[in-house]
Chains A and B, each alone.
Chain A
């Protein structure tokens, strides 16, 4: 795991750094404890996307500079704080607007006319997994683990993860991940077709750079057309997932699930219980 960006920053916040080297952008996430996606990360992702010049770059590598992993998912503390403050008349609208912003960011990354490569190590859970699934190609370091633990909180993934996972792998695999909440290791993720390369710990960046350098030799129109053809946005399913997420989020079980997680001092919060 390489903690530093590989070139001078084009854009930088406390959550991430965007850099550009030889036509390849790098989006380095570095918001402790594990790049949780809340308002701050969302602002940063929007800012970074605004600064990507697709006429200059040919690719984007998304990775984490934190030892803890790629991304642990949504910022549950922020969600719990918002929900615990009480549900007034505008609660649903505010939640829906927040979710729309996240979907817009995920959709923008998904459809970038660049080759996007996610480099994953250790934790790739929930919203972090959903972010990884926006990438065209995933490279997993040997210690990567993928999971959708949302059902433990009484919800489903809500950042577009289910349609994107279904776009890439078989429905039985999707159900296994969702219904059990278990983690897949890197080899299992490759076996089911989610990950294209498994590399030793610390080798992900090198592998991603080699990949982006290779694809940069090909005609831009061919690359972009190929991606658009093979990776359509599952618009209807994304909307359906969002609706289910919003409905479930109003259940009391969610408040209780979030409270348990936020207040937990257990050393095993990331293992099923």
Chain B
């Protein structure tokens, strides 16, 4: 009966600090086993939303339910099934990784053995007996992740889990998240690097100034934004083919290389011409990057839900 209910549900949530509105009228629901990214610039309200979901702060307006309960009520059973990785947590450098994780495990009523197993899982097994002060940034982040994974959480909130991590560790982190989502855990992670989320999450919620400016899969967002595709042509000769026509969108990059942007609808027609023309030596198609997409939505170009 509980399975079909959304794990996390927000309705018209707002949070004000004095005159500052950190979060305004945010509504979304995350079903079980989904992987969702909260994307926004610094101060867009990502961390505030997570704190609201954890019940650390109360909303000024609206209501939210996490695992079917009001998180601010602080029911122990709900909290035990929630994992959180804060944005910048540094554990006491004097303790070892194992001591810290065992401490958190006991707080969640988990056996110490589960803490050791998690350390192995995030690849900290060999460093478990070393002091956290000797850990690298990636290792500290992995210790934080292990902490969030304690007690098989049904919902996992990760606040910028990949900032400052090298590509290999990042890859490992996303693999663990995929595994967890497969097991029915709802994963919500925040990020400001849209680029790396491609293929890692099913849904992206873009926040700007505390509001949801866009919500959907990557494909849907691209479609909504209708950003121009960029075409990079390497010319064989010096002369420009006349069909390139509209010089306004044309940009010379190097000696023989020009770049032009065209709306997605005209892309194929342009490609047909370019491939038929012997004066074009090479051709690169650059789809709009996620960063462009992000910038587009933050400028207010996209109508949410349009």
Partners in one complex: no
Where the two chains meet, the residues of B that have a C-beta atom closer than 8 Å to any C-beta of A are: none
